Homo-oligomer: A and B are copies of this chain.
């Protein structure tokens, strides 16, 4: 049983404007609940959490029992406390999987894990995106066609400021002329990280069959293969000579 926690800043969901209305239309109980329902499976124990909860939704007992954390944020990145970011980073380094969604490219936790600018260019005019499978043999690409369309999307385009060890699984084409490394894997110490660009607060992308399948695959791929360690940041230690000093 993989213990999954879906974290959502859950802000657009209550916006009293057009964005909020559109968001509630596709995600009436929030993006986190939609993802939980769409990802439901016998081998997954899925919990949800959001920013307005105590401990910003991730008290120790929840974070420390999470095998794979999904992260959705957009307009409230700055409100996430640095201490929480450090606790999440420690757990990722210890082996917890981390799946960062769409606008999470500018989240504190993604930038903390990668160290780069995570810059990109963007455009929000509901254009068409086509997602290409670049590594069809990758576990996250199993069951996904060579390409699939997303009718209405927010464009995220290159140059994308990420490190070179990003293993590219998906590349996106956009109607307006841009391209993007839209599905990329990283490893940091024992933890696996997957960034996936498709997804948005006002489009029904998290109801797209292929998108859901990709996230479902990513959860299994990112799940730790051994118990998550809690000493990632303090694991440096003195070491006696292991061979005789002549």
Contact = CB atoms under 8 A, between A and B. Distances in A.
B243 A137 contact: no
Given A164-B187, A179-B173, A242-B147, A115 B117 contact: no
Given A122-B236, A179-B172, A189 B161 contact: yes
Contacts of A116: 93, 188-189
B120 A178 contact: no
B176 A179 contact: no
A190 interface: yes
A188 B163 contact: yes
A241 B187 contact: no
Contacts of A77: none
Contact of A160 (B112, B134, B188, B238): B134
A31 interface: no
Contacts of A54: none
Interface string A209-228: 00000000000000001100
B239 A157 contact: yes
Interface in A191-246: 191, 225-226, 232-233, 235-246
A209 B161 CA distance: 27
Nearest to A163: B165
A236 B165 contact: no
A32 interface: no
Contacts of A186: 163
B190 A119 contact: no
Contact of A117 (B93, B135, B237, B240): B93
Contacts of A89: 115
Given A121-B236, A165-B163, A189 B137 contact: yes
Interface stretch (A17-25, A40-48, A61-69, A125-133): A125-133
Nearest to A109: B115
A146 interface: yes
Contacts of A121: 236-239
A139 interface: yes
